[in-house]
A = this chain, B = another copy of it.
Amino acid sequence: MSISKQALQRMPYYLQFLKNQKALGCTTISAPKIAAKFNFKEIQVRKDLASASTVNGKPKIGFQIETLIKDMENVLGYNDKKEAILVGVGSLGQALLGYKGFGYYGITIIGIFDNDPEKVGEVIRGKTVKSCDQISDFCRQHNVHLGVITVPEKQAQVVCDQLVAGNIGAIWNFAPIYLSVPENILVQNENMAASLALLSKHLKEKNM
């Protein structure tokens, strides 16, 4: 069954809860229980679970937590090993490098790059910073398909082009700018301005 974009984005929350429940010793879980936890509608969770689970739920019982966890991890791609590179080892880039989450999501950062000549050669968390010139060669050689961009706004498009030249498949963009890419490449923007827009609007509506 195909899973909607929105449903997919709710999965990590479900997964986290399932793991908690499993740790507490539970073996089964029902849609209404999950819905209560997150203040979602029961029917929404029911649909989401149905779309992720490989087996049918059992009326009155729900789903086996263990199987459901595996199914969700699969849907989310955590079991596919993905190699990535990170470009821009400023404060945000370094914060991300320290983020243990990557491994859990199946992502390994196998190369780090920066434009700043002073940073090239530096060793950060066991990895040597390479010059951005080498991005596309590196990507092709190591068959990297995911690129993380944490450079400043002005450099982002250039870096993006280098990744594209390296035959990258998807880009996770933290630079506050719109990136132009060929059609078949996905750019996922970690768009702080957009998030702030929603927060702002909320505060304004509450007259805060």
Contact = CB atoms under 8 A, between A and B. Distances in A.
Given A77-B204, A80-B203, A188-B198, A193 B12 contact: yes
A12 B191 contact: yes
A61 interface: no
Interface size class of A (residues with CB under 8 A): 35 or more
Given A200-B106, A202-B170, A178 B91 contact: no
A196 B105 contact: yes
A54 B170 CA distance: 38
Contact of A172 (B38, B80, B190, B199): B199
A98 interface: yes
Contact of A203 (B98, B170, B176, B202): B170
A195 B188 contact: yes
Given A12-B191, A146-B203, A203-B80, A198 B176 contact: no
Contact of A198 (B101, B186, B195): B186
A204 B78 CA distance: 11
A201 interface: yes
Nearest to A10: B194
Interface in A161-208: 169-170, 172, 176-178, 180, 184, 186, 188, 190-204, 206, 208
